[in-house]
Amino acid sequence: MTFTTPPSSLIVEPQPQPHDEKKHNLTGFIIFLCSESVIFLAFFSGYAVLKTSALNWLPPGVAGLDVHMPLINTIVLVSSSGTIYLAERFKAKENLALFRGFWLLSMAMGAYFLYGQYVEWSGLEFGFTSGTFGGTFYLLTGFHGLHVATGIGLMGLMLVKSFLPGNYEKGEQGVEATSLFWHFVDVIWIVLFILIYLWQ
């Protein structure tokens, strides 16, 4: 290969890779969440198509879904986005005690949501195979519930990590990703609540 302007020297200085692994992890996680949201979008659009084209949407003997309890559930879950935000703020201020407190509160609120869903499911008069309504209802709420459970698991992991000596720095980025995941789960639930409970 020939060059018009040959370099002045033959010296190659070492230049470490300027890569920030924490930022990679967060970028990767955000890309994962974007991809995850498409699965929900597929389910949402499937729900809308099936509902608008159905001749008999609700299974025989089912009048509709009770909105009262899911609404309380929704308020609790959406509020947990606020508590997890506060936890993150205290983490940034290096106030570990308050971080753990609000973090635990968010976990408890998530657990309450799951419990509420369990109570709701056990009182329902239709099953997974009760037509397209039954199938889509359980698929959507179940798939979301799985995400809530995963979120609680991740939060538990971060909480344990915060007690490991010297792991404060390492846990921090996991906290950010977990919190992002939790906000994602909340936003998905809001759409789901509107679609299933309000648009009856």
Please select the residue that binds another protein; options are 19, 61, 64, 94, rule is CB under 8 A. 19
C-alpha 82: how far from chain center: 14
Residue 170 is a binding residue for another protein (CB under 8 A): no
Q: Should residue 157 be labelled a site residue for another protein when binding is judged by CB under 8 A? A: no
Which of 83, 136, 141, 178 binds another protein (CB under 8 A)? It is: 136
- Per rule CB under 8 A, is residue 38 in the interface with another protein? yes
Kindly tell me which of 51 and 100 has the beta carbon lying closer to another protein.
51
**Cα of 65 vs its chain's centroid, Å:** 24
Please tell me the count of residues contacting another protein according to CB under 8 A: 50
Q: Which is nearer to another protein, 17 or 122 (CB)?
A: 17
In whole angstroms, what is the distance from residue 87 CA to residue 56 CA? 47
Is 61 one of the binding residues for another protein (CB under 8 A)? no
Instruction: Say which residues have a Cβ less than 8 Å from residue 99's Cβ, sequence separation at least 6.
Output: 87, 88, 90, 91, 162
Angle subtended at Cα 44 by Cα 43 and Cα 47, rounded to the nearest 5 degrees: 85
Q: How many residues does the chain have?
A: 200
Q: Cα 182 vs. chain centroid, distance in angstroms?
A: 4
94 binds another protein (CB under 8 A): no
The binder of another protein chosen from 22, 42, 110, 197 (CB under 8 A): 42
Output the smallest distance, CB 188 to another protein, in A.
13
Rounded distance between C-alpha atoms, residue 194 and residue 196, angstroms: 6
Structure tokens at 46: 């499937």
Residues lying near another protein in the complex (CB under 8 A): 1-7, 9-19, 23-25, 27-28, 31-32, 34-36, 38-39, 41-43, 46, 49-50, 53-57, 128-129, 131-136, 139
